[in-house]
Structure 1
């Protein structure tokens, strides 16, 4: 038996390293074959383990993944939450260790209920279990849909699967590939045949164009103000920020659409009406549409007012949008009655937002519909698909200054690329300090602005029409498939365990 399949600390350490390989498969490293190797090592490591050992093994794997891929939260806690380095380090460790708990059910369910003596069923049921838990992680307690396996393929031939079934279908195929590779050693014919079937069926999909242009290209101007996070909510620097975005905008040639990033106007919309009216009047004279991120203070049906993270459009563009998917601790504080006041991190500016309503109209520019995603929202696959299906162009605005000079903003950009591929639409990404970019329907970054600079991104996007299969059906076909595979594996495993117990 190989060391990786045994119980013990050495094998757990190998699992930790295996989990970190997924981070290396993602941006900015983009060593995408490591995604397959990572899952193959985990699968091999769980092959002979009992329930408790399998739970520990899968936790160490998840700990390696999140410690390497999500520890950028330290920047937010220490630099912007004013926590001392030791406290910030402890909170970061607790954060990534807590996220690793999502992997414990994988080890338990596999060892207790789904592992069989049938190589064919094992290949498919493990891949189904992997994706089921990715989907669960994106839903439970508002979700943390970050570091999905499928994001590693934004530049590989497997990206053609995204318009068919989204990022989770790619994750499924990668996990299938990983388990099939393991079986090429034990069952060479079965493993090789499965690998050939998977890749021969998947790679031609990249040649299909699911959507077509709906109008002529639109010229875009995205202003990147690079406002330091420490001054963003400083009332003494408000005039400077508003003047900066105004002056950077009017110094540029005319564009069909002018975009400012998330909370570029850092005061409530009702307080900024005069300022916005001036910008919109100028944009109207230019025959342009104008869109900016801005907080809003609005009443509910009882008349009580709440803060919302929003987007407003003016001049030739129209509509308002309120963010639905909020960032824990950044935009709202779970258990705030207990946590408020403990440390500055739990009292960040504008951390008392409410989620917007589920049914909202899109933004528009003349007869073209624009699907807006504010920061974190773009990382939710099925949520994004619901808005994208109604649109011609995708727009995500963000303030990634929270991530500092970490890999977080680059990972965030890669997820926006995947949303463009899934929808078959152009994506405009406008951020405070980078990475602002224009992304085509194949997920290719056509142009981008450098990080940490005051600059203006210009270029053209093409409004698209038509629905990819993923926009039409979302993840329901995949959910049905993995439910069938898991149910079949459960029944087979139950029958197998009854047989060996006699």
Structure 2
């Protein structure tokens, strides 16, 4: 079998080149990652060594994917690049712990297992670790196996049944099943594993080509301001920012739409109390004869001894210029919107308003026939948040974001890939308006029907539809997750039982 160094290189290449990147992407390469972690565990001399090798492999592979985390550290603070790289390495180390646990489990539980048992066990183990990765330490479900296939929407349809975590688990299971069959020279299991993978992709493709049952008859305009992150919160540039968004939005006067969307914090001031700018935007909405959903900071009477609480907010201004309702971001970005620990330099990373507070309202923003489940920035990467929006009646998903932090890196494409999964999981159209890109409309099958060019001030026009039905995954969301965790517990219990039986 392969030695440690080649496995480390293959696992890194698999995750980095299988996921979205700026060099070359081939989604099936991502299957190398779980296969190599399985082999690292299988070939280890002890559980400790398996854990260490899995940790190193995970840290290196995720660092190759998430290198862009260093960009805001270097460009928004005075931190030199050689120190800024500690950002992605630190995050990758935490994510590498899940890879380490997987390799440890492979050593402890699967060394003498049949290929079929390897496949079944790794499904539950990988799925449980994916669920943990999206929850613990604030959660960071980035660079999943399922997300790697978002660029090929024909092959992400299983997420409407299993969810992203379940589909990632299935991909990992098939990768490990094939690997186990090959190293045991089992022709029967090798054929069965390859046929299972072929059946999975064939059925996914068949589901993808079936016609959608929702008409895209609602016209929308998404305004991409392309405001540089370094100037965004500078008061000297605020008038220019407002003028740019208003000028771009006037295109709607010649191309009537049903909804106009501005990105996250597109108005970098407190719009709710702005005597200078709020009247201009109200007049624009009236002239456009369309409601506007606008990202901006908001505030309310403070709690916990604070005079004011500040929120990352999305306001709805209707076609009569009335500010009807709003949504406050619930899941905040550590070090971008709040500092979880006292780290002096990290204050420089916070957006211009300082520390945000998490919102408490989860209901859709409604106007006319639209019930918009709003997701701000990386909230769209969290399955449970989108599940909640649809459960509360959202018939359209809207993601507003600002990825200008990360420049021309792989981050915007990776962010889009995660968002595509949410549309397929819930069977909803998803409109995504961003500051610098990638602005797009995603249909319930994961197809990008409209896409703007990155780093360009523009208005992206397109059409969406509303849906009220539920996918299999939505209906059985809690049960599917519970079964995955129960399966992992059963695998561990069975291993303990068989080990005790051998001792007797």
TM-score scaled by structure 2? Answer: 0.90
Compute the displacement of 1:364 (Å).
1.9
Within-5 A mapping of 1:13-52: 14-28=7-21, 29-49=24-44, 50-52=46-48
Matched residue, 1:394: 397
Compute the displacement of 1:156 (Å).
5.2
Within-5 A mapping of 1:107-186: 107-112=103-108, 116-154=112-150, 155=152, 157-185=154-182, 186=184
Residue 190 (str. 1) matches residue 223 (str. 2):
no
Within-5 A mapping of 1:19-418: 19-28=12-21, 29-49=24-44, 50-112=46-108, 116-154=112-150, 155=152, 157-185=154-182, 186=184, 187-197=186-196, 199-200=198-199, 203-208=202-207, 212-213=213-214, 217-252=217-252, 253=254, 254-272=256-274, 275-300=277-302, 304-316=307-319, 318-335=324-341, 338-340=342-344, 342=345, 345=348, 349-357=352-360, 359-389=361-391, 390-418=393-421
**Matches of 1:216 and 1:452 in 2, distance apart?**
27
**Matches of 1:108 and 1:311 in 2, distance apart?**
44
Compute the displacement of 1:197 (Å).
4.0
Q: Deviations over 1:14-38 (max 9, x none)?
A: 2254134112112244411112222
**Matches of 2:153 and 2:290 in 1, distance apart?**
37
**Range with bigger deviation, 321-330 or 271-280:** 271-280
Q: Deviations over 1:262-305 (max 9, x none)?
A: 10110013332652343233323432111110101112567842
Residues 103 and 393 (structure 1), Cα distance of their counterparts in 2 relative to 1, 3 Å cut: same
Q: Is the 8 A contact 1:386 1:471 kept in 2?
A: no
Q: How many residues matched?
A: 489
Matched residue, 1:419: 422
Compute the displacement of 1:240 (Å).
1.1
Compute the displacement of 1:481 (Å).
2.9
Compute the displacement of 1:199 (Å).
4.3
Compute the displacement of 1:153 (Å).
2.0
Compute the displacement of 1:41 (Å).
2.1
Matched residue, 1:8: none
Q: Deviations over 1:230-283 (max 9, x none)?
A: 111101111111111111111442221111101011001333265234323332
Matched residue, 1:491: 493
Matched residue, 1:451: 454
Compute the displacement of 1:485 (Å).
2.7
**Range with bigger deviation, 142-151 or 106-115:** 106-115
**Range with bigger deviation, 430-439 or 294-303:** 294-303
**Range with bigger deviation, 386-395 or 289-298:** 386-395
Q: Is the 8 A contact 2:55 2:97 kept in 1?
A: yes
**Matches of 1:122 and 1:284 in 2, distance apart?**
62
Compute the displacement of 1:117 (Å).
3.1
Residues 486 and 98 (structure 1), Cα distance of their counterparts in 2 relative to 1, 3 Å cut: closer
Unaligned runs of 5+ in 1: 5-10
Q: Is the 8 A contact 1:311 1:320 kept in 2?
A: yes
Q: Is the 8 A contact 1:333 1:351 kept in 2?
A: no
**Matches of 1:176 and 1:93 in 2, distance apart?**
27
Compute the displacement of 1:395 (Å).
0.7
**Matches of 2:483 and 2:91 in 1, distance apart?**
32
Compute the displacement of 1:134 (Å).
1.2
